[in-house]
Amino acid sequence: MYSTLNFSTFDDSNLSALTSVDPHRLQEQTHRSVKISIIIVLGVMITLGNIAVLLVISSSVAGWSKNSRYFLLSLTAADSAFGLLVMPLNLWVSLLKDYTEGPDALCHVVAFCNATVYSTCMYTLATISLERYIAVFYPLQYSSLMTRKRTLLLIAFAWCFPPFLLLPISFPVGIIEVHFSTASLVCNPSYSTNVGYTLSLTCLIFFPCSIIMTHANLRVWCAAKRQRLKLRKYNCARRSRHNVASRVLVPVMAAYYACWTPCMAAMIYNAVSGSSVPEWLEFVVVWLPTSNGFLNCIFYFWINRSFRRKFHLVLQRLLLTLCPKLADTLGCCNPSKTDFVSGITDNNNSVHERSSSVSSTCTLLSLA
């Protein structure tokens, strides 16, 4: 009446196949989820930080010349590209691309965008250091050396030269091979098969920018230190005041080398030895330069007192415009007082805005 079940068809091998889970594949999925989470969190931090910076420096800031604002706007745009372009593109490829496939046109385009944004950020940091060097050591000639036209040309060079230099990466069929790395979740050129091109990129991008930044910031730091000692000698400086030169220049250079040197070293090691670094080490060194886009917000902007005051003023205006009831509840904004202070600040910046030469001289003295 009842049909008998034939358990003989389920042997031990079939049972183990149904119940077992590949631990290696499970570990890969876990690592991939953790990596994607880290990338998303880092991208959100970079984007929010640079949006706040953009809201402030899009208007005038006390003590900042127009040329300085142009360079800092360029840096903000380059840093924002990490969170708005590089991270979404690579996450999109990591979610959609079949890892068994070879290089394709999409990976070439993403690798080209990655290398362009990274290079533009380094060139922008170098131009900022060069502009500050000229402002501090040649204050009287600053207006003639750093005209608006030359400032825009330097910014255009920082944005246009990297795409021209890295154009071969974008060709699907060319001299540069591109692959998607499951370790770092990034489309990267195959540095081991293009040793000469890899070394030429580092010699044309990383090393020149590093030399310019190191020389300029070191000279400014030494000048500020000598000025501080002179003022102390003649009892013109308060001993309790912090050394702003060490508080700003040293972290800027330390963050730059800490974020970019491991990535460049891994590229050179991969090109010369032909072997890749361990999985998590590759992930860290590849994505570490993007964190420089968030650290720049801190070292270049949030340490500056004028920037913080302007940010508080902008935040008050946004609260009064978007949420007036919330602003009244918090009691942090008085409309009449805010309008009065903003009017004084804007008029002071528009009428009494410092020229670049005077501002640079005062900056050198204030570094003490």
What's the start-to-end Cα distance of the chain, in Å? Answer: 100
**Alpha-carbon distances, residue 132 vs 4, 230, 249, 360 (angstroms):** 88, 22, 11, 8
- Phi, psi (5° rounding) for residue 189? -65, 150
Q: What is the pLDDT of residue 260?
A: 92
Name the token pair of 58.
Answer: 């899009």
Least confident of 101-115, 270-284, 335-349: 335-349
Looking at residue 188, the DSSP 8-state letter turns out to be E
| Confidence at residue 85, expressed as pLDDT on a 0 to 100 scale | 92
| pTM assigned to the model | 0.77
Predicted local distance difference test score (pLDDT) of residue 161: 93
In the numeric block, which tokens belong to residue 1?
């009446």
How does pLDDT run across 234-249, given as a tens digit for each residue? 765 555 445 556 667 8
Q: Which fold has domain 34-306?
A: Rhopdopsin 7-helix transmembrane proteins (1.20.1070)
d(CA 58, CA 76): 11
Q: Which pLDDT tens digit goes with each residue over 165-216?
A: 888 888 877 677 888 888 888 888 877 677 777 777 888 899 999 999 999 9
- Closest by Cα among 357, 365, 366, 368 to 132: 357
- Residue ranges of the domains in the chain? 34-306
Q: What is the pLDDT of residue 224?
A: 82
Structural contact between residues 275 and 202, judged by C-beta atoms closer than 8 angstroms: no
The sign of the CA dihedral 28, 30, 33, 39 is negative
Query: What does the angle CA 288 – CA 290 – CA 296 come to, to the nearest 5 degrees?
Result: 110
Which residue, 145, 191, 181, is CA-closest to 281?
A: 181
